[in-house]
Amino acid sequence: MSPRPRVNKQTDVPNLRAEPTKNGKVRYRYKNVMTGRTKTVGGGNRTEAERIAKQANAIIAQKILDKEAELILSGAESGTGITWGRWCDEYMLIQQKRFELGKIKASTLKTIESRVKRVKKKFQQRKIHQLNTYDFTKYLKEDFLSRSKDGMAVMIRSTLIDICAEAISEGVLPSEKGNPAQFTKPIARQTKRSRLLLEVFKAALEWSQKNQQPFMWKAMLFALVTGQRREDIAKCRFDDIQMIEGIEYIGVIQGKTGTKVAIPLDLRLDSIGYSVRDIISLCRDRVVSRYLFHHNKSKGHCRAGDRVRTDTFSYLFADAIRSLGKSWGEFNPPTLHETRSLSGREYEKQNNKNELLALAGKPHSQIIDVQKLLGHKLESTTAIYKDSRGHDWVTVNVAES
């Protein structure tokens, strides 16, 4: 008999996870961040388990604060008795409180936790007041920059700066010495991901239509025509379509920024030949589902009609790009997120063409507000997406004599 699948899910309460049992039910396991031990709580009742977990988080947080306060008040130099590892634990409790207050999202908390776990391991037993700029600079150079991981180095440096800033604000590090991580040299990050060009997208789309489940190539089209992020595309439902002043829109609440974007169904990208309405019509198939992009057949844990996971889109898009056998030189292959940039650039070209037609008094299609479509608050952000990073050719026109 094959072992039961282990699909653990993080609940809305930090340190509490939901785990499936052999009899098909769910149990809730709480992890004590001080001891590292886990314990079943709530007896299968989620509400009770979350109540217990919240109480435990509050008690443990207070114990850690009391212990560190005792060390500080013992007469030693501020922060002398606190190790880097212990402070990282306390820093995470601060972030968890921010999450509970709604100041950061679950995805942000997860990202912070991943980075803090990495830096905590590096200086685990060192006293926090003994760490200096040299230690952090050496860490960034040896573990990231020497391995050409500039992007990760930028994120880790930012994490180190914030951990030290919290320590200063709590009196764990002396403020007069400044933030030791802040004094490290800023890292100039070079983007190595290749921009996605329209001809490459079309080739990948054609391969996907022949070799992958229908939801994938439909999602690729939707991503290009709407310019939305993969996580927002995965959540799109048929009941998100609404009528506003006689015009049909599909509403998208962007998970990253919370921006609410109402996209008209008649929005059309001429270079690909599809409108939003066309793609939604393709999504209406024989499978009953609330989601635009759903599994067409049951397989493993996925049932027909279930929503497609965000990472599934990324994996399948990567397969489609690899199938082209294209060399990317010093760049990495484009990811699904690059469809968002391609969308902005294609609409910009379409706008330029239509503006010229309008000036000539000829029939033209709609002018698209690319900044609003992408959900950017600043035009400078949209400009970054429009930048082809040197992948587009400049055409030299020769006038007839």
Bridge partners, residue 332, by sequence:
193
The helix or strand, by DSSP H or E, that contains position 90, with its residue range, turns out to be helix 84-100
The answer to whether 364 is a known catalytic residue is: no
Which two structure tokens, joined as six digits, stand for 115?
């980075």
Backbone angles phi, psi at 31, to 5 degrees: -105, 125
CA distances from 126 to 66, 67, 117, 375 (A): 21, 18, 15, 44
Which listed residue (29, 129, 294, 376) is catalytic?
376
Residues 307 and 237: their CA atoms lie apart, in Å, by 9
Other CB atoms within 10 A of residue 179 CB = 18
Instruction: Give the contacts of 38 (CB within 8 A, at least 6 positions apart).
Output: 29, 30, 31, 32
Residue 328 gets the label, from left (phi > 0), alpha (psi -120 to 50) or beta, of alpha
Which listed residue (256, 260, 303, 322) is catalytic?
256
Bridge partners, residue 247, by sequence:
244
Residues 36 and 28: their CA atoms lie apart, in Å, by 16
CA distances from 387 to 136, 187, 277, 321 (A): 33, 21, 28, 21
Which listed residue (229, 268, 295, 345) is catalytic?
229
Given a contact cutoff of 8 angstroms between Cβ atoms, the answer to whether 119 and 160 are in contact is yes
Instruction: Give the contacts of 327 (CB within 8 A, at least 6 positions apart).
Output: none
The answer to whether 376 is a known catalytic residue is: yes
Using only the alpha carbons of the chain, give its radius of gyration: 26
Which listed residue (195, 295, 340, 345) is catalytic?
340
The DSSP annotation for 50-67 comes to HHHHHHHHHHHHHHHHHH
Instruction: Give the contacts of 194 (CB within 8 A, at least 6 positions apart).
Output: 328, 331, 332, 333, 334, 338, 389, 391
3-state secondary structure 309-323: CHHHHHHHHHHHHHC
- CB burial string 334-344: b at 16+ within 10 A, e below: bbbebbbbbbb
Which listed residue (337, 349, 353, 364) is catalytic?
337
The answer to whether 337 is a known catalytic residue is: yes
Given a contact cutoff of 8 angstroms between Cβ atoms, the answer to whether 287 and 294 are in contact is yes
What is the DSSP-derived secondary structure letter of residue 220?
A: H
Active site members? 229, 256, 337, 340, 376, 385
